[in-house]
Amino acid sequence: MSAGRSARNAGGDAHPRATAALALAAGLLLLGLPWPETPVPGCAHPSEATAVSGRSVDVSCDGPASARPLRGPARLLFGLKIDPNVADAQTLEALPGIGPARARAIIAERAKNPFTSLDDLVRVHGIGRGIVAGLAAHVAVGGGA
């Protein structure tokens, strides 16, 4: 167990805040509702404690500044943005208005020509200005995994 507070305690039970955040994320994804505008309270410096398949699944809130940054959809739970140039399809699908087909289209378009700004997403078939506006709070080019 690390010196910092982890999303799992020594007994193996999930930390209440982390459990609530993951449950909220699952509900929002299933219902297609927008993400909360504020990150998980009480976790000012989230970092990856454990990853599975390149995605953060256990988060430390008190890790050192050098700790590994969050990866995958977990970033959204803590108010961090997703970079469309590096995110995998599953992470892109966690964004509002992006399903499997749009996620694949984003990946295909960035392979041809990487995005230099959020507005470049309009190059992707099926993504217009309205979807880009809805993504502004969740996406940043060069903004993380």
pLDDT of res. 102 = 97
Mean pLDDT, residues 31-42 taken together: 56
Which amino acid makes up residue 48?
E
pLDDT of res. 68 = 86
pLDDT tens for 88-114 read: 999 999 999 999 999 999 999 999 999
pLDDT of res. 27 = 59
pLDDT at 23 over 80: no
pLDDT of res. 17 = 59
**Spatial separation of the C-alpha atoms in residues 106 and 123, rounded to whole Å:** 9
pTM, entire model: 0.68
Percent of the chain's residues with pLDDT above 90? 42
Q: How confident is the model at residue 55 (pLDDT cuts 50, 70, 90)?
A: confident
User: Contact 60/46 with Cβ under 8 angstroms?
Assistant: yes
**Spatial separation of the C-alpha atoms in residues 50 and 2, rounded to whole Å:** 11
Report the chain's mean pLDDT, rounded to a whole number. 79
Q: Computed from CA positions of residues 141, 124, 136, 29, in that sequence, does the dihedral angle turn out positive or negative? A: negative
3-state secondary structure 72-95: CCHHHHCCCCECCCCCCHHHHHCC
Which of 34-38, 55-59, 78-82 bottoms out in mean pLDDT, i.e. has the lowest?
34-38
Q: How confident is the model at residue 78 (pLDDT cuts 50, 70, 90)?
A: confident
